[in-house]
Amino acid sequence: MAHVLIVEARFYAHLNDLLLEGARAAIEAAGHSHETLTVPGALEVPGAIAFAAETGQYDAYVGLGIVIRGETYHFEIVSNESARGLMALTLDGLAVGNGILTVENEAQALARVRPTEKDKGGEAAKAALAMLDLKERFGVK
């Protein structure tokens, strides 16, 4: 049984609740345990995962959050850098599922976070578990 850390950027609480619901359900359905850690925003998700990885307590990680386009360039920075940070962790050997959504508006976010629709939280959790399976298959520590 794997122990998974879900790191969520809780900027849009009502949307994050749905992402978390999907992620937790997918992890539990696969027979694994999980914990949730909340950080201020999407840019903090990769750093929190890196800190947690140093403890050796977790087998896989799920990063969750929602970035909605605004009127400034900040959207691009947050979207690109959070994705880059999660990818760097993956390339460093961690099993990470990226569930940080980058959308144009709340309607797009709702369609993606609802477990009854696109269930991106569940998909991110399944991706993390799939990467964990690959690590084990290839004997990566």
Positions at the binding site: 11, 42-44, 66-68, 71-72, 98, 112
Q: Are the CB atoms for 26 and 125 separated by under 8 Å? A: yes
- 24: Cβ–Cβ under 8 A, 6 or more apart, which residues? 6, 34, 36, 121, 125
Residue in 9, 103, 2 with CA at minimum distance from that of residue 61:
2
Report the C-alpha gap between 118 and 24 in whole angstroms.
Answer: 15
Binding-site residues for 5-amino-6-(D-ribitylamino)uracil, in ranges, read 11, 42-44, 66-68, 98
> For 1-141, where are the alpha helices, taking DSSP H only?
13-29, 45-53, 74-91, 106-113, 120-138
Active site residue 74: yes
Active-site position among 3, 32, 34, 74: 74
Query: Residue ranges for the binding site for (2S)-2-hydroxy-3-oxobutyl phosphate?
Result: 71-72, 112
Q: What are phi and psi of 70, to 5 degrees?
A: -115, -155
- Catalytic residue numbers, as ranges: 74
